Amino acid sequence: MATEHIVVVGAGQMGAGIAQVALQAGLRVTLADVSKEGLAKGAERIRGGLKKLAEKGKLDEAKRAAAEANLSTLTDVKEAKDVDFAVEAVTENEDLKRRIFQDLDAVVRPGGILATNTSSIPITRIAASTKRPESVIGMHFMNPVPVMQLVELIRGAATSDETYATTRALAEKMGKTTVVSKDYPGFIVNRILIPMLNEACFALMEGLGSVEDIDTAMKLGTNQPMGPLQLADFIGLDTVLYIAEVLHKGLGDSKYRPSPLLRQYVDAGWYGKKSGRGFYKY
Is 11 marked within a binding site?
yes
Is 175 marked within a binding site?
no
Mean pLDDT across the stretch 96-121?
95
Is 52 marked within a binding site?
no
Give the pLDDT band (50/70/90) at residue 2. Answer: confident
Which percentage of the chain shows pLDDT scores above 70? 100
Residue 120 has pLDDT above 90, yes or no: no
Q: Domain-by-domain residue ranges, the chain?
A: 5-182, 191-273
Helix (H, G, I), strand (E, B) or coil at 179: strand
Give the CATH superfamily of 191-273. N-(1-d-carboxylethyl)-l-norvaline Dehydrogenase; domain 2 (1.10.1040.10)
pLDDT in tens, 200-224: 999 999 999 999 999 999 999 999 9
Closest CA to 74 of 40, 46, 45: 40
Give the pLDDT band (50/70/90) at residue 97. Answer: very high
**pTM of the shown model:** 0.93
User: What is the DSSP code string of 13-76?
Assistant: HHHHHHHHHHHHTT-EEEEE-S-HHHHHHHHHHHHHHHHHHHHTTSS-HHHHHHHHHTEEEES-
Q: How far apart are CA 235 and CA 265, in angstroms?
A: 14
- Strands 136-141 and 150-155, sheet pairing: antiparallel
pLDDT in tens, 57-90: 999 999 999 999 999 999 999 999 999 999 999 9
Residue 1 has pLDDT above 90, yes or no: no
Residues noted as catalytic: 119, 140, 152, 190
Axis-axis angle for helices 228-235, 211-222 (nearest 10): 110
The 3-state secondary structure of 87-136 reads EECCCCCHHHHHHHHHHHHHHEEEEEEEEECCCCCCHHHHHCCCCCHHHE
CATH dotted code for 5-182: 3.40.50.720
pLDDT in tens, 124-176: 999 999 999 999 999 999 999 999 999 999 999 999 999 999 999 999 999 99
Q: What's the whole-number average pLDDT of the chain? A: 96
Is 274 marked within a binding site?
yes
Say what the pLDDT of residue 77 is.
Answer: 94
Say what the pLDDT of residue 178 is.
Answer: 98
